[in-house]
A = this chain, B = another copy of it.
Amino acid sequence: MTEAIANLSRKEQVIRKAAELFREKGYAAASMRDLAQLLGIEAASLYSHIKSKEEILRSLCFDMAAEFRKSLEEVEKQNVSSSEKLRRGIIGHIQVMAKDLTASAVFMNEHRHLSQPYLRDFLLLRINYINRFKTIIEEGVKNGEFKSTIDKKLAVMTLFSSLNWMPMWYDPSGGIIEPVELGVQLADMLVNGLKQTPK
């Protein structure tokens, strides 16, 4: 029992360190020997905790995907205007990222190194998530909250781009702005860009 717990914890240490390494060097350029060295063990020893290099990537990508999904589902239930729903969706996304910026960066940049059928599954999860944001935008256009002139695909991809690049430049230790405040400001900026301008 104690052994199982210790193994689990050690496995998580391996995955966490791997996330840092994958983020810094990229999945393909990061070697298992690099990872072992960071953990102070031999490369071969890694395999008593994980099955393969890709298993680590899978666990990082799919765990993040689950967090994003959960956050959006929470927002979808709420009975608020389209712009407020979009705002909350954005803030939720930012908060999920802020909880683990390293895993978020890996999720965003390295998922393409997943092999099939995992890659396909991952991309399906992502397109589903994006489409749910798109639905919120479409509802807002229908009920007049958002401009009807905007291309909806462009709008949702722009939204996504802004969100997903955040881990690339946001440094919470930089003392610039808090995660929650970041989410609020980002949401304001992006939602305002969509809103019907009052004439």
Chain A residues in the interface with B (C-beta under 8 A) = 26, 28-29, 109, 112-113, 150-151, 153-155, 157-158, 160-166, 168-170, 176-177, 182, 185-186, 188-195, 197-198
What chain B residues lie within 8 Å of A191 (beta carbons)?
Answer: 193
Interchain nearest-CB distance for A171 vs B (Å): 10
> How many protomers of this protein does the assembly include?
2
CA distance A2 to B166 in the complex (A): 50
Alpha-carbon distance A177/B150, docked complex (angstroms): 11
Residues B165 and A151 in contact, CB atoms below 8 Å apart: no
Residues of chain B within 8 A (CB-CB) of A109 are 109
How far does the Cβ of A159 sit from chain B's closest Cβ, in whole Å? 8
Residues of B within 8 A of A194 (CB): 189
- How far, in angstroms, from A150 to B181 measured CA to CA in the complex? 11
